[in-house]
Structure 1
Amino acid sequence: MRNILRVLKPFDVVVIALLIAISFIPLTVFAMSKTAQTGGEIVAVISQDGEVIREITLTGHEGNEQFIIDGKGHQYNLMEVDDERIRIKEDNSPDQIGVKMGWKDRPGETIVCLPHKLLVEIEARGNTSDEDEQIISY
């Protein structure tokens, strides 16, 4: 550690701090663009192996709903929608990453279960702050 401190000059520390601060700009811009979307509805799009299975409107959803998405063989995912949020409550994948991702309710968030090829995307639809601006994703 002392060797590193001897090599670093005061200006190096300023440059490193500036680079770290700049690295957060994309996160800030993305968060601001997502919060600018108002007036529309939030929809959870559930797809498996690239095919849309179900769409659930989260805006205004009340109560608790659970349903199972079957995969190939003995694969399953138990989905839970509680008011205006969604999660994978239970599945039989070995790593349980989809379950550990927890509740999602904001546009742009995703839940992924790779062994079952399951993807849950939270999307904003309808009115946004800027009708002409669209985000294209592949």
Structure 2
Amino acid sequence: MTASAVVFDDDDRVLLVHHRKIGLWLYPGGHVDPNETPAEAAVREVVEETGVQAVVLGEPGFVHPAVRWHASPWAVIEMDVTDSKVGAHQHIDFVYVCRAAGVDLAVRREEVVGARWVPVADVAELCTPAELPDLVVAARQWAKAWRGSGR
């Protein structure tokens, strides 16, 4: 299980990291640690990889004192991956849409070569996984609609 964050700032830019091993621009994310919710993992990975604080957008669907509520992901994506540690396997990625609580970048992980804010309109010009530009556009549309509804 992995968790990722598509983080937007107030200037219609998305936060992307350049992954050293695969050589592509991606949104921040990584594996969910024990005793951590996927949303907590997504926010932690953003901070660890970029230094940016992020806030998950969304609202509780159900809250009760007898249970723990988990933020719903914006999307759940399954992808085939291969790495030197595990070999071929699948990632089930919980993708959250977030807003940035700050925009200052500080790359902090060795697997990330760089991080930058990219105008949403320019994402398709970068070397990314095939689905990423369309996913970013769809996430931005959802975020604008969510925030436009007064939330």
Instruction: Flag whether TM exceeds 0.5 (same fold).
Output: no
Q: Provide the TM-score with structure 1 as the length reference.
A: 0.23
Q: Provide the TM-score with structure 2 as the length reference.
A: 0.22
Higher RCO (CA < 8 A, seq sep 6+): 2
If you compute each CA radius of gyration, which structure gives the higher value, 1 or 2?
1
